[in-house]
Structure 1
């Protein structure tokens, strides 16, 4: 059994630091974030995601299944139910929480790699939408997700839960899109946005070449600044009476269409 320490008081200084990670300011200040539950922690450990500390509920016992995946650098801390609750965003804590270092992947590293198909988000606000888009990107084998300014924090606990572990399967980068997108085009990337005013159907648009699919805010769509940088605007044809699709659904449709064209 791996050695571990015990922390039982919510007044402990380390517990107070960990609790701050539930807020964006605390995450940015410490360069860390919290994940909760066996599945997410397992995915993080398998991906080598920088898990630093694992807190487990003493009354439930030592999580041996996770220990078999963790390296020697991971610190184990047995805690009381009160401590775990203080470090949890869930209504019903799952008995195990991990503290993870935020990755440092930047724009230069993104552009230096071959990202044939990527998703770019311009001001997507809902954690559930972001999580679903990341899962869809993972499902089709997209190579990256780019979060523009104004997009909800990836490390928001609600976002993390909604990714269902897919956030550990592909690079996710925060960037200034006005600065990044022209540089991507210079490297041969085609920039595609959706628009209800577009004339061309996504099914008639060639998505086989290196393509970044850009999606905007739930209410306002892609910003004028970012739309002006795109190479082509497309619309998703709809036979029914709905005016538009939810941004996560629209992203899923285009991602799977791009994947279909690549298979053909």
Structure 2
């Protein structure tokens, strides 16, 4: 199948997914570029279609997936269609429409010894995407996205995840309801705090812990801060006042990885 006109009704529907309102209404989102599309195909995400520039043909990196018999529609489109469905100045030759996966919160509550990231009002798309990518890198059990965060299905967030959105559960949750449930199950809620007395390198990350990260300017909301069990401080020897929230998340997540898998007495993974 091929579609040449940017005025085609399906193309208009796809282009609408560049806006959050339409993503919410349709329950779908766009991913752009060979890497993201390949990651989604390999993860067997719920994909409606893959659109590629007809003149160039299906990118060779995706040729195997295209012939694998997956329940995905492959559509050749014109460069004008690709441009209409892209939010970048130099569109890549392929994009896909993916159906949203609402995800389930219960498995994160039930995971013994779980390591979960909780985002509370993190507004910058790059920060949200980078934190999801880092959580994936350290083998966290999932990411919970609370109110006020950048849309995880927005183009900038998706690019920043580099495909990690397809590797671990990333789910929305009402933190005022969810965090008390976690505490009742013995899960510790920890987050950075400039007033904290606990050095993050002295904290025990080996038990069940959910790491809380708040808004870039104001930090955790008062409601979430009030539920936090442990305030952690990241030591800084220089004169920087603070760290970017994505960098702070990386520091804590990699300390958790070190304690869980690379401390004396643990069996470390082979690193190629």
User: Is the contact made by 2:108 and 2:114 (CA closer than 8 Å) also made in structure 1?
Assistant: no
Distance 1:115 1:45, change over 3 A: farther
Matched residue, 2:160 = 162
User: Is the contact made by 1:115 and 1:144 (CA closer than 8 Å) also made in structure 2?
Assistant: no
Matched residue, 1:127 = 125
1:61 aligns with 2:57: yes
Matched residue, 1:23 = 19
Moved over 6 A (4+): none
Matched residue, 2:233 = 235
Distance 1:262 1:104, change over 3 A: same
Residue 128 of structure 1 deviates from its aligned partner by: 0.6
TM-score by length of 2: 0.92
1:245 aligns with 2:208: no
Matched residue, 2:41 = 45
CA RMSD of aligned residues (A): 1.3
Matched residue, 1:87 = 85
Q: Secondary structure at the match of 1:188?
A: coil
| Aligned equivalents of 1:188, 1:200: Cα separation in 2 | 19
Q: Secondary structure at the match of 1:45?
A: helix
User: Is the contact made by 2:113 and 2:207 (CA closer than 8 Å) also made in structure 1?
Assistant: no
TM-score by length of 1: 0.95
User: Is the contact made by 2:192 and 2:233 (CA closer than 8 Å) also made in structure 1?
Assistant: yes
Matched residue, 2:148 = 150
Unaligned runs of 5+ in 2: 264-272
Unaligned runs of 5+ in 1: none
| Aligned length, in residue pairs | 260
User: Is the contact made by 1:117 and 1:143 (CA closer than 8 Å) also made in structure 2?
Assistant: yes
Distance 1:67 1:114, change over 3 A: farther
Residue 197 of structure 1 deviates from its aligned partner by: 1.3
| Aligned equivalents of 2:86, 2:231: Cα separation in 1 | 42
Residue 110 of structure 1 deviates from its aligned partner by: 3.4
User: Is the contact made by 2:108 and 2:141 (CA closer than 8 Å) also made in structure 1?
Assistant: no
| Aligned equivalents of 1:150, 1:239: Cα separation in 2 | 32
Residue 59 of structure 1 deviates from its aligned partner by: 1.4
User: Is the contact made by 2:47 and 2:72 (CA closer than 8 Å) also made in structure 1?
Assistant: yes
